[in-house]
Structure 1
């Protein structure tokens, strides 16, 4: 039961992140990317600290160390993605970020010699192909923005991998609080270094950042951390990769984006990827088992 609750939380996280694309687009009209990152992580750590203040007394040294590492990977991923977006197209930025889904199982293999699940790996590659259909404008040109975004994918992959590893022994909430706090501190350092201390107070901009802070950061990362206690890192990465699909859905609903054949193909491929990863083709294995039993009789 916990497994299914965890996977449901990951799906909700992907849906929230998908909707975040729209609110990020709106907030960029009022704030710089560095300001948005600092604000959203600050909102996250303030809300979590206020709601779970009693738990803060139970923070262990190991939680601080592990939360620090996760926070560095998290902010580094967003920073590289933001800088990369200045030199490449949004579609390539979204696609290359999603490459983390195929990096995660290889991190587990090379770092800990963990066997790669062939069904999850197949699902990961299918998910990447699906995301390519959803977001990528097919060009062969590679620039510095693409390389920075690919580095961002590695940072996200390590954040997902180590979340799954650390959450087995740590309180998921406390791990998230420390992670948010570290990302917020790094965010404000970047804002100060870039001399961006002048903020907009337009209502639309503030509401957009509040959505990103409350839902896309606080709620989503809480759900991700808790959920990864009950599922593998590769399966988590595959489910989280559906944010590209949900981003498309919200763009169609809220921004009146037109549905294309490529979008439909991409959505189907992502769905198949999740089914393969989730069921491990158990239907076919059961069918083969029944046929073998029948033949033996």
Structure 2
């Protein structure tokens, strides 16, 4: 089980890297794409691809597994929809920070739902992660006096992302993670497509750059990343997963420097270090220090 837990953590690290890369991909084409339209195509394409690949698993889907996938999909849709709409009214840096607060919410929500208090290392890691995300994303413009409806929507988005992580942890223990992925993508894709019809001119007529971005988002950022997350969370806790996934902010910032030519500042480097320290504390529970102290005392 320990080996599976380590593999699960490494898999979540890969997911965080892929999600971090999607920031640069989306930012690069956002001026040409309609957000809801792009999201709808992204998730429907991922649903089709996984349905073809795993059609045998899909045929064996139980009513309970289908319900679980629908619930996960609803959480994902609300989280991503409020995030997308919220970005119209707030800055990208402030939204990145507020969305990242889900890493602190997860341990408390788990505690409320399961009446099981996460260990102190999880809390320390979560709070260090949120401080690190603040260093990475905030540019000095954050102020509660300037809190607007975009910020409120983003906080709602953070709550639903936290619920999404917890719901995966709950359902992935009992049902096939691949089936859960296909159903949640289908639900999310349909809801985004319906929303696009109401709020945008829903169309499949997109340019080559946008189509390339959608294919990458569908294959890597959705079909691969979310499915791996579902499988990995069978073998680790929701609080643990949330802290590792917050590395998305680190990878997103570093890849923006490499791919988009953004400037790497000392503040960003400090943020990366703080997040890594938080993850090391959560992962190791400082056993290496305890062991060293025991060796010295002996």
Give TM-score, length-normalised by structure 2. 0.96
What is the match of residue 218 of structure 1? 223
What is the match of residue 288 of structure 2? 283
In terms of mean alpha carbon deviation, does 282-291 or 122-131 score higher?
A: 282-291
CA contact (8 A) 1:6 1:227 kept: yes
Which of the numbers 141, 162, 170 marks the counterpart of 1:165? 170
What is the match of residue 59 of structure 1? 61
CA contact (8 A) 2:136 2:250 kept: yes
Quote the RMSD (CA, aligned, Å). 1.2
What count of residue pairs does the alignment treat as equivalent?
293
CA contact (8 A) 1:27 1:36 kept: no
Q: Deviations over 1:152-174 (max 9, x none)?
A: 00000000011011111010100
What is the match of residue 145 of structure 1? 150
Q: Return closer, same or farther for 1:240/1:9 CA change in 2, 3 Å cut-off.
A: same
For residue 116 of structure 1, report the CA deviation from its aligned partner. 2.0
Q: Equivalents in 1 of 2:295, 2:200: separation in Å?
A: 68
Q: Equivalents in 1 of 2:200, 2:289: separation in Å?
A: 59
Unaligned runs of 5+ in 2: none
For residue 288 of structure 1, report the CA deviation from its aligned partner. 3.8
Q: Equivalents in 1 of 2:10, 2:296: separation in Å?
A: 34
What is the match of residue 71 of structure 2? 69
Q: Equivalents in 2 of 1:239, 1:109: separation in Å?
A: 19
Q: Equivalents in 2 of 1:22, 1:116: separation in Å?
A: 34
* Secondary structure in structure 2 of the residue aligned to 1:197: coil
What is the match of residue 260 of structure 1? 265
CA contact (8 A) 1:67 1:179 kept: yes
* Secondary structure in structure 2 of the residue aligned to 1:125: helix
What is the match of residue 99 of structure 2? 97
For residue 290 of structure 1, report the CA deviation from its aligned partner. 3.9
Runs of 4 or more consecutive aligned structure 1 residues displaced over 6 Å after TM superposition:
none
Q: Does 1:36 align with 2:58?
A: no
Q: Does 1:124 align with 2:126?
A: yes
Q: Return closer, same or farther for 1:12/1:244 CA change in 2, 3 Å cut-off.
A: same
Which of the numbers 87, 90, 93 marks the counterpart of 1:88? 90
What is the match of residue 192 of structure 1? 197
Q: Deviations over 1:152-201 (max 9, x none)?
A: 00000000011011111010100111111110111111011124223443
For residue 291 of structure 1, report the CA deviation from its aligned partner. 5.0
For residue 289 of structure 1, report the CA deviation from its aligned partner. 3.6
Q: Does 1:107 align with 2:112?
A: no
In terms of mean alpha carbon deviation, does 86-95 or 20-29 score higher?
A: 20-29
* Secondary structure in structure 1 of the residue aligned to 2:55: coil
Q: Deviations over 1:238-268 (max 9, x none)?
A: 1110111101111111111111110110010
Q: Equivalents in 2 of 1:187, 1:133: separation in Å?
A: 32
Unaligned runs of 5+ in 1: none
CA contact (8 A) 1:48 1:177 kept: yes
